Chains A and B, each alone.
Chain A
């Protein structure tokens, strides 16, 4: 009887120590689900989902406050990926938040720009270069196409242009899938 008590007592102590150490050593600071959701979002930081950026939207989704169909830049593929990750049913994009469109970037008409820096303050990814009373320009490779710089511009010198399809980013078109893919037994 005593042996059993001592054995289990020791066992409990050892396991408790190991678990305690592991809890400290391998502590996870941020919620891994938020990171996983954030990794699927397009990082446009446009705020069309009504949250202040992609990460806040991811946090809201993880907390169950936001739905998975609020991201127009991500479109269907993002919704499918989110549904897969969160074990929810995919649903169409909520039109309240906007429509999925082709990828765009903005350009600044440098002749019209007055150098007010308002767009620089609005850009969530620091993709606009310039200083007060100096000409501004968009670093197009860094532009996410969020269009947040457009409303603050006092002279309407920022224009949206679609990203050009070239031989380097072109995709083979998908064959016609209107016909059934396989003979089915009915």
Chain B
């Protein structure tokens, strides 16, 4: 990197004078020309759809279908078991052939539970699709319920359930911010969406605005999207909408980050570990706005999204309107296949994406980009050298953190100190690692530290539960022991108070023996549910009885 060391200084006298700026950031080559200029193509219906039960932040959805079930397009496959979760729908019609672990787009490369549908190509909707709702007559709460039922999550990348952002809040919302700032190189799905479906986006934004009732509403786009801006302004004019402003922000990575965008537009900072709603702002992605339009006007749950398939490793880079669950390999084939010198396959952009080992992973709600890179395009990172304390990472950090300090603490597993230095405010944008002259994989250190801290918290919670269970068990045992001692003492007293005559003692013993006998006759110790046993079940029972006898005789002999 040549001059990216300093906080990016905007030339004075440009059209951005009314905006603020965030600390650091980078100007990166865009690599978007081809995909941003090519129309969105339909990826079609793949033969197999693989729908992971977790495509969002929060609890995984609970599966409702079983292998052999026929499902229509838009049919509910899995429900949300908790408030912080969303349902999953069938993105095309077909037969469920399996509910099993399959490779999913996740940096771990581990498989996760998925519903696998063999499509029949009919793409048939259920009979009762429902008619369009007049959202202006709706209560915000019921609007949120519709959005929740449609399984909508933030399509910008994080997958935060949309209804939680729109509904669960205490503050008055001043600003509804629609984020079309696609700052990461290569990605152009939001840009194409605005160019081709601006009217849908505008309608979606109006629906969300109705739900949120903010004082102002801004759609933020990046400087490199003049066509999208034109389309957006035309769409706003067509519906005579003056309450929504379109604002261009400069091309600085990561100005599309929620916190950075809010800083640029309002000059305000989201509190550390807080949410934008804490300062009266809600930020939603444009793709989310379009899917809200689909859910409310077309009565269609979130079934597809636009995915940028790009990189030098792809023959015809392009954006695709893709059904959720479509395997990446299907998209690659639709884009003309790989070029000869493909090196790596990434999900997401070059800065924040992660490599996957197989192209059988499906497109999920949060997949905005499939990036196939060649060796020249993205060389393998060289061996990390020692830190020379140059401080470039600190200069570019858009969260205004001290990446070097975080690196020491993450490296030495000093997680408390890392948290004191606001590790969890790191947005993992990758700017620090990009400028590091020693090629230290800084972001990986931070991700490692974050996941370690989370797992330690989980362990701590489990230990607390184990402690309380152990303590209550000890209390119970002490109580039982005490009760037994009391009973014994009472009996002893009863015996001695009888004057200690032999007859009285005998009578008590006889009474006790009678009680035992009576109890034995009363209790029905015969096994239950033994009618209509199959021979196998009878065999198992016999085997268990034999083992029981063996252990009894065994323990008798050892005594």
Interface residues of A (CB under 8 A from B): 38, 41-45, 53-54, 77, 111-112, 114, 116, 124-127, 133, 142, 144, 154-155, 165-177, 179-183
Contacts and interface: CB of A to CB of B under 8 A. Distances in A.
Contact of B469 (A142, A167, A169): A142
Interface stretch (B140-148, B439-447, B508-516): B439-447
A133 B106 CA distance: 45
Interface stretch (B158-166, B306-314, B385-393): B385-393
B60, B454, B472, B544 — most chain A CB neighbours (10 Å)? B544
A116 B467 contact: no
A167 B104 CA distance: 9
Interface residues of B, number: 52
A154 B459 CA distance: 32
B459 A173 contact: no
B448 A172 contact: yes
Contacts of B459: 42
B388 A183 contact: yes
Interface in B432-487: 440-441, 444-445, 447-448, 450-452, 454-456, 458-459, 462-467, 469-470, 472-473
12 contacts: A43-B466, A133-B525, A144-B462, A154-B551, A155-B547, A170-B451, A171-B452, A172-B107, A172-B450, A174-B448, A175-B440, A175-B444
B110 A165 contact: yes
A184 B278 CA distance: 44
Interface string B405-432: 0011001010000000000000000000
Given A44-B466, A142-B466, A172-B448, A167 B554 contact: no
Given A41-B463, A170-B451, A111 B540 contact: yes
A182 B444 contact: no
A130 to B, nearest CB: 14
A144 B466 contact: yes
B386 A179 contact: yes
B112 interface: yes
Contacts of A174: 445, 448
Nearest 7 interchain pairs by C-beta: A171-B451, A43-B466, A43-B463, A172-B447, A154-B551, A170-B108, A125-B469
B54 interface: yes
Contacts of B378: none
Contact of A53 (B60, B408, B462, B470): B470
Nearest to B465: A142
Contacts of B407: 181
Nearest to A45: B470
Given A125-B469, A166-B110, A177 B411 contact: yes
Nearest to A155: B547
A167 B467 contact: no
B115 to A, nearest CB: 16
B384 interface: yes
Contact of B547 (A114, A165, A176): A114
Contacts of B60: 168
Contacts of A177: 411
Contacts of B464: 43
A112 B470 contact: no
Interface of B: 54, 60, 104, 106-108, 110, 112, 383-389, 407-408, 411, 413, 440-441, 444-445, 447-448, 450-452, 454-456, 458-459, 462-467, 469-470, 472-473, 525, 527, 540, 544, 547-548, 551, 554-555
A114 B548 contact: yes
B386 A182 contact: yes
B386 A183 contact: yes
Contacts of A170: 106, 108, 110, 451
Nearest to B112: A167
Given A126-B469, A142-B469, A167-B112, A183 B444 contact: no
Contact of A169 (B385, B388, B455): B455
Contacts of A126: 469, 472-473
A165 B110 CA distance: 8
B72 to A, nearest CB: 29
A168 B108 CA distance: 10
A175 B451 contact: no
Nearest to A135: B544
Nearest to B477: A121
A89 B331 CA distance: 57
Contacts of B551: 114, 116, 154-155
B451 A154 contact: no
B333 to A, nearest CB: 26
A36 to B, nearest CB: 13
A72 to B, nearest CB: 15
A166 B466 contact: no
A86 to B, nearest CB: 17
Contacts of A168: 54, 60
Given A127-B469, A182-B386, 9 more contacts: A43-B463, A43-B466, A44-B466, A53-B470, A124-B470, A126-B472, A170-B451, A171-B451, A183-B387
Contacts of B527: 133
Given A43-B463, A53-B470, A172-B447, A181 B554 contact: no
Contact of A167 (B54, B411, B462): B54
A133 B530 CA distance: 14
Contacts of B383: 179
Given A43-B464, A166-B112, A183-B388, A175 B448 contact: yes
Contacts of A179: 383-386
B469, B551, B554 — most chain A CB neighbours (10 Å)? B469
Contact of B467 (A54, A111, A133, A166): A54
B107, B455, B467 — most chain A CB neighbours (10 Å)? B467
Given A38-B467, A43-B464, A181-B387, A171 B107 contact: no
Given A170-B110, A181-B411, A175 B441 contact: yes
B557 to A, nearest CB: 13
B106 A154 contact: no
A117 to B, nearest CB: 12
A38 B326 CA distance: 50
B384 A176 contact: yes
A177 B388 CA distance: 16
Contact of B455 (A38, A127, A133, A171): A171
Contacts of B458: 169
